Structure 1
Amino acid sequence: MRIKDMTRIALALACCVLAPLSSAPAWAQDQAQHLPTTTLGAGMYNIKAEVARSEQEHEIGLMFRTSMGNNEGMIFIFERAGQQCFWMKNTLIPLAVAFIADDGTVVNVDEMKAQTLDPHCSTKPVRFVLEMNTGWFTKHGVKAGSKLSGEPFGTPR
């Protein structure tokens, strides 16, 4: 084989190896995402919640955040109700999580430690999951049976 042919083969092989890397999924990142927000209500408290709708947005969630405002969080919206389970991989701040039924009723609440792989799951099938700063739900009296309001639940805020 001539040098010219070997060079072409080497370039073709390099393209085959490197091409998949250039199209790595958006969720294969190491920085926080910032999504559009909606206002939710928990009694007299307003929550500014970023809205995660897509699978990629769900996978990144609140990863790589170093802080979050007092009444800020992220609501995860799923197409169908199911048992939703969350973990804290690459999540730098501890969070509280509420699993929420279609009508805005809280099914169950849990606390999650930063950077752990422990599963935190809904006790019933749900379409909505709300993550807030650790202790937020307890501090504001939100527990199983509490009702949240806002656009995702079809109720005005």
Structure 2
Amino acid sequence: MKTWFLAAVLLLTSCAAVPESQPFPLAKLRLEQLVIQVQLAATPALRAQGLMFQQHAEPGMLLLYAEPQHISLWMRNTSMPLDVAFIDSDWRIHAIRQLEPFDETAVPSEIAVIAALEMPRGWFATNKLAAGAQLTLLE
């Protein structure tokens, strides 16, 4: 992925007014041959909010960072079981971990990652996606 495109996405999402009915902008992702739309959390404030207080994990959420870094996620105020895919700087799934509802135990990435994709529990297995699967953030 081009660095300029990632910078443009981060700039647009940090400056855009987000409608009250849709607290997060949406982003389109390709995971191998599957194309999906997910909520995009590309600012510190949106990443901190994450899926807290939402009633459903659909359509999923991409936590996007400007630079690869080690991250830790937890499930404070999040009532549904999730799977999270840690995405490396080559936009491949490095690892998939399970997150338990309301669990405040930090779940760290093992490496520096550019993103984390949170989906309903079992979503990656159902779609036959595992470590090594390629992701693309579509324009």
- Same fold judged by TM-score > 0.5? yes
- The equivalent residue for 1:41 is 30
Q: After the TM superposition, which of the residue ranges 41-50 and 60-69 deviates more from structure 2?
A: 41-50
What is the CA–CA distance in structure 1 between the aligned matches of 2:133 and 2:51, rounded to whole Å? 24
1:64 match: secondary structure = coil
What is the CA–CA distance in structure 1 between the aligned matches of 2:69 and 2:57, rounded to whole Å? 28
Counterpart residue type for residue 44 of structure 2: E
- The equivalent residue for 2:97 is 110
The alignment yields a C-alpha RMSD, in angstroms, of: 1.7
> Per-residue deviation at 1:33?
6.8
What is the CA–CA distance in structure 1 between the aligned matches of 2:28 and 2:83, rounded to whole Å? 18
**In the alignment, does 2:70 pair up with 1:83?**
yes
Percent identity between the aligned chains?
Answer: 28
Higher strand share: 2
Count of residues in Structure 1 that have an aligned counterpart in Structure 2: 119
What is the CA–CA distance in structure 2 between the aligned matches of 1:94 and 1:145, rounded to whole Å? 23
> 2:91–2:134: 8 Å Cα contact kept in structure 1?
yes
Q: What's the TM-score once normalised by structure 2's chain length?
A: 0.78
> 1:47–1:73: 8 Å Cα contact kept in structure 2?
no
Q: 1:131 aligns with which of 104, 109, 118?
A: 118
Q: What's the TM-score once normalised by structure 1's chain length?
A: 0.70
2:40 match: secondary structure = strand
1:56 match: secondary structure = helix
Counterpart residue type for residue 112 of structure 2: P
What is the CA–CA distance in structure 2 between the aligned matches of 1:101 and 1:142, rounded to whole Å? 15
Query: Unaligned stretches of 5+ in structure 1?
Result: 1-31
- Rg larger in structure: 1
> 1:98–1:110: 8 Å Cα contact kept in structure 2?
yes
**Structure with larger RCO (C-alpha < 8 A, sep 6+):** 2
> 2:57–2:82: 8 Å Cα contact kept in structure 1?
no
Counterpart residue type for residue 98 of structure 1: A
Q: Deviations over 1:83-122 (max 9, x none)?
A: 1110000001111100102221111110111101122121
Counterpart residue type for residue 37 of structure 2: K
